[in-house]
Structure 1
Amino acid sequence: MPSKNAQETGLDHLSAMRALVRIVELGSFSAAARELKVATSTIARKITALETMLGVPLLHRSTHHVGLTEAGSLYHARAVSMIADLDDTLRVVAELDSAPSGPLKLTAPVAFGRRYLAPLVAPFLELYPAVQLDLRLTDNHNDMVMGGFDLDIHEGENYLDNLIVQPLSRNDSILCAAPSYLARRGRPRTPADLAQHNCLRYLHPEGDPRWHLSNGQGVQSLLPSGNLQSDHSELLLETTRAGLGIAEFEIWLIRDLLVSGELEVVLPDHRLENALTGRQIYMAYLPNRRFSTKVRVLREFMAQRLKGIGELPDRNLVPCLAGEF
């Protein structure tokens, strides 16, 4: 059938678009009508007018089921994105002359969240008391759309498709040990020396069990061996602090221990390459959150306080590095 324009059909296109999205998501005309507080016949007329305007059927209708046609699937996918962008624009405009407020959902890895985000929650909410912060800590990356997250702080580059990203810091990994261990067993001078040491291994189902050590001139790979392995980085950290052996850690996890001298860098001219944790720590958010005032102030707050956390502190602050290089 020939398509018509919205004026010819008397169609409120945005209202019809919203109605179709709710019909698909709720599974029936009657459920969408109840949510939108209109008669079922009104919803049906909107969809009929929309199909008339477009010149194609969008829905398969039966007594007990509503499904999308091929054209309907294409229209629905675009409609969901357009409505989300419109709602975000309306929200941003409404926020222009007001303080950031309302729900704000943030996710981050568990150890990172405990160490760095927990101390920042109170200062942030003191600055923005009208915000209701929902902070979820997990080591399993969440789908930001399905989870309703506004901002994701994460390491690595494996999850960034279709997201806007803002780097916070390099994410360097090093080997370290307690001074008591190094006094007892000696300090490795080359990666080959690690074969004579008790190496504590972090395990991840998707990770490479080998250590890949780079000094800027090449990479040496080895499979570390020792009397402890674990999938919990904080457990390995406690045993390393106790002097059990040498372990690999991302610098953000041990910065304060390096500065205090409780841990020392092993092979300070080497860094570990780890495809799982990547080379950067990022903040990531959906394109339709880019203009949100509350997301912006959270990003600015985190960027200021977390800058450079994954990088080795100034070597003058780290006792074991003072005479290196």
Structure 2
Amino acid sequence: MLIHADADAFFASVEQRDFPHLRGRPMVVGPQVVACASYEARALGVHAGMPLRQALRRWPDLVVAEFRGDVYESVSADLMALFRDVTPLVEPGSMEEAFLDVSALDGGSVEEAGRIAADLRARARRDLGLPVSAGVARAKLFAKLASRRAKPDGLFVVDAETEARVRPRLPVSDLWGVGPASTTKLHDAGVRYVADLAGWTVDTLVDRRITKAMARNLIAIRDGVDDATIKLPGPRKSISSTRSLGRATRQRSVVENALRDNVIRAMDRLGDDPRAPTRIDVHLRYDDQHAIIQPGSLDQPTRDVTTLVGAALAALERTAYEEDGRGVAMVGVAFALPAPPA
């Protein structure tokens, strides 16, 4: 049995936890574009990706909180630690959600999995101050759909009878990995629901210009043998840090200091990992949301912070951001890491 646990409106929930005056109010996390909207703001029609100026024109009373990337990463680490305290079989999906395999706990029944999920949600609220919605099911697809159904701050359990009844009725547009283009192709072929896949094979779907991987997944979903396997994350391939500048600027000292801080934070996040970065990329996002990645240059792998800062600043200089005319809203750095020793 799997649990899909997902912290609700993660960035906004962290802000409402830390700043009581934001609780119960329509608020968003900025700065230039809505990164996350509280459920109170969503009820008005505010959504992630909306330009902040547009949102404030329509809803002048909307409260805007600063984007605090370091805080969210720290809370995410605490959330994942809580998940792993329940079971070591955790597959993160993003910084606020993960699948947990609880099949080996307390007999692995759907009832026990529901109890474990309820306890996990209570601990997240008590220990982290966060609302977490959870879905329980035999496979990932239904666990994910269940957690979506449970939002906000709820729990939904899908037993075998419910799964068998609902599976054929699922719109293909709701299935993982089926985007608008594939949905159109499937609809043109007369496939709107999972039940409509009866009689289709991988090859006949591929003939309709559906990729082989997606075709296999669709047939597995139709047959009820879709993915229920937790994939444990391997060693990280990179380490990064970003920082929003709050107010967009071209002031050299502000941008350079933020970049230095990012280099130091990124290296701190390596912790006990002995690997040394082999490549460096500097990330900038301007006030019009245009983002660029400027590769840096390292003569050899190194953990020396002074060398890494120098390489980052040299890459920043090559962006010519001071002459660009736009303001820099976000600056970040990413280091590529070599494969761990065998």
Same fold (TM over 0.5): no
| Greater relative contact order (Cα < 8 A, sep 6+) | 1
TM-score (norm 1): 0.21
TM-score (norm 2): 0.20
Greater Rg by CA = 1
